Chains A and B, each alone.
Chain A
Amino acid sequence: MELKLLTTRHLFFTGKGGVGKTSLSCATALALAESGKQVLVVSTDPASNLDEVLEVSLGSTPTAVPSVDGLYALNIDPEAAAREYRERTVAPYRGVLPPAAIQSMEEQFSGACTVEIAAFDQFSALLGDPERTREFDHVIFDTAPTGHTLRLLSLPSAWNDFIGSSANGASCLGPLAGLEQQRALYAATVAKLADAAQTTVVLVARAETAALREAERTAGELAALNIRNQVLAINGVFRASEPGDRVADAMTERMRAALAAMPAALTRLPRFETAFVPGGLTGISALRDFCTPNGARAERTVPVGLPPDLDRLDRLVAALEAAGRGVIMTMGKGGVGKTTVACAIAAALAHRGHRVLLSTTDPAAHVVATIGAPVSGLSVARIDPAAEVEQYRREVLASAGASLDAQGRALLEEDLRSPCTEEIAVFRAFAKTVDVGKDGFVVLDTAPTGHTILLLDAAEAYHREVMRVQGDMPVAVRELLPRLRDPAFTRVIITTLPEATPVHEAERLQADLRRAQIAPYAWVVNQSLLASGTRDPLLAERGKHEFPYIRRVADELAERCVLVPWLPEPPVGVNGLAVLTERAA
């Protein structure tokens, strides 16, 4: 580890899901602890796998990691924090106020806003209150997927502005209203994030064009929030030890080209690289090997055969086609290729003569870049949260604002600056898109796991809200959740990679979907080196490591499992996508 770049007390690891934020933050924490420091690792991801990586059961207070002196960890679970917060507020009134009143209070605390606010509250308690972390030399935050991370990081100043500029006493802070007294704490949090003497943000990326583009976007957004002490980490850089293997050569070249074409904003940052490791970074001994590589792990591996019973993407498309219409959603953590899978399915359905709308709520919106040239019958739409919020605000001000006097209008505008407004605006757009599925195919490339879970949660709270509020709700909105739950109308395809963490997270996603009464239709295990036919020692070794994960998906998790190989030609553009659906996996 390049500890000389990571000297500040607070370290944040941010990046697209699956780039190795947890691995790098744990490896850094381990290296710092073994150099004699007291170190605390904190995960703020609702889908945290810190427990798994450190082999210790964690809670919301620092827990010592056995076998490593000075290393402690904790999970901030925003959903649990929101539940606690709700309980703290509601409990004193049970038996005092009527049950209907209690129920309606609980409902108000079940929305996405409360979860975010609760997460932020805990996050700033750690960062803003020196007493909480006084005994640690370093506090390392292993943060959630990029969209969520950005939001978390951008909240302090957003709310600071909001509280500061509120004329009538922040009316729309909602559940945050009770926290307003903590303004000093929030201000301290904002100051610490932007203080280069105290805080470093490590942008974790892979040597891939999309991941680097994402890192560039993050770097820009953080800089706009005045957080400029950034370091770039390129994780898992692969270089073939000898040329000749088609897959290994292609991977080496693809990574080299991606690094050579690195966006200018990133080249100016201090940077370090970490090498490709064939096994996963789960467990203390694996982390230790990673920190001090011995370099002697490349042996000749005999390729193992492919599992014979797996499906292919072309057959999945044929099965999806049979329905003639409906919504197809590819879900999974960022970086697993769900955009690619969504694009491939959408393009294949369009090629077969269907009318297809491909839509994305992914903040990164890679869809347009992936499709390339236009395809007949296929239209592409993006649900852009910022644009949706703007449109919603305009609509509200035009309808409800028209009859108001200046003061009423000012108050309305102020409430429209609330964090809830975005959730509502995005869902209106989402509902409209799902509605199109009754006349043709809609393929939705959804946002990363943690975000998606919150989104669905919000969908349900939203649904309940619709039942309660009188007024003219569009039919599309009223029918949203029943449609998402109808297996004849909506088909969820869980996308994952044949690795420990992605499979584990996809399993959690499936469990969450099932709790929301949505049954996934199929799983796609993407970018398999095992299926790629490589004979490169490191890559074939990695391929062998995939086997148990593929088996677990096929045998225990999926109704229908499709294996997609890692392809020497990147599956972008119309021809690249066609390779995915026309060739046997």
Chain B
Amino acid sequence: MKRFEIYEPAMCCSTGVCGVDVDPVLAQFAADLQWLAEQGVEVLRYNLSQQPQAFAANPAVVKEMEAGIERLPVVTVDGQVVSTGVYPSRDQLRQRLEHGAAAGQRVVAIPVVEAGGCKPGSGCC
């Protein structure tokens, strides 16, 4: 059975409503994961503020975080990192489901240019 693991930034809840503004992507992603689980895939979701042990136990995830905290969320399929800095869409999840971790390009977030510009080592340039 395939195993999807999602390492998320510190949030107090999975849909993000506890922030000041709801991120619809998060709510949609929660529903997408439920869909994924219904396809017979093991889905594990870790939140940095609640399950830090899962992050600490995975050197690949720690390495991503050292490159920049904005690399979260990190998604792994069977232990391999398949995306960083973005919540994959249902289509992207379906693709991973059908073809495994090796299929296609690693999904990365389009870097958000902040007022201070890109920082060296942040992974955005």
Chain A residues in the interface with B (C-beta under 8 A): 89-90, 92-93, 96-98, 100-101, 104-105, 107-109, 111, 113, 168, 171-175, 177-178, 396, 399-401, 403-405, 407-409, 411-412, 415-416, 418, 420-421, 424, 428, 462, 465-466, 469-473, 477
Q: B112 — which chain A residues lie within 8 A by C-beta? A: 470
* Residue B60 lies at the interface, judged by CB distance under 8 Å to chain A: no
* Most chain A beta carbons < 10 A, residue from B13, B53, B56, B62: B13
Chain A nearest CB, measured from B73 CB (Å):
13
Chain B nearest CB, measured from A84 CB (Å):
16
State in angstroms the CA–CA spacing of A107 and B28 once bound together: 25
- In the complex the two chains form, is B20's CB within 8 Å of A466's CB? yes
Q: Of B10, B27, B62, which one neighbours A108 at CB under 8 angstroms?
A: B10
Q: A409 — which chain B residues lie within 8 A by C-beta? A: 27
Q: B27 — which chain A residues lie within 8 A by C-beta? A: 400-401, 404, 408-409, 411-412
Chain B nearest CB, measured from A162 CB (Å):
12
* Residue B50 lies at the interface, judged by CB distance under 8 Å to chain A: yes
23 interchain pairs, CB-CB under 8 A: A97-B62, A101-B48, A105-B52, A107-B10, A111-B12, A113-B12, A172-B12, A175-B12, A175-B50, A178-B50, A404-B31, A405-B31, A412-B15, A412-B22, A412-B27, A418-B17, A420-B12, A420-B17, A420-B18, A469-B23, A471-B21, A472-B21, A477-B20
| A108-B13 contact given A412-B27, A465-B19, CB 8 Å threshold | no
- In the complex the two chains form, is B24's CB within 8 Å of A98's CB? no
Closest to A397 in B: B22
Q: Of A104, A404, A416, A469, which one neighbours B19 at CB under 8 angstroms?
A: A469
Query: A409-B27, A466-B20 provided; 20 other pairs, C-beta below 8 A?
Result: A89-B52, A93-B55, A98-B69, A100-B65, A101-B10, A104-B9, A108-B10, A108-B12, A171-B15, A172-B17, A407-B31, A408-B31, A412-B27, A416-B17, A420-B13, A424-B18, A462-B20, A465-B20, A469-B19, A471-B23
Chain B nearest CB, measured from A78 CB (Å):
17
Q: B11 — which chain A residues lie within 8 A by C-beta? A: 108
Closest to A408 in B: B31
- In the complex the two chains form, is A473's CB within 8 Å of B56's CB? no
- In the complex the two chains form, is A105's CB within 8 Å of B48's CB? yes
State in angstroms the CA–CA spacing of A363 and B19 once bound together: 24
| A171-B13 contact given A93-B52, A97-B55, A405-B31, CB 8 Å threshold | yes
Contact with A along B11-51 (1 / 0, CB 8 A): 11111011111111001101100100000000000001110
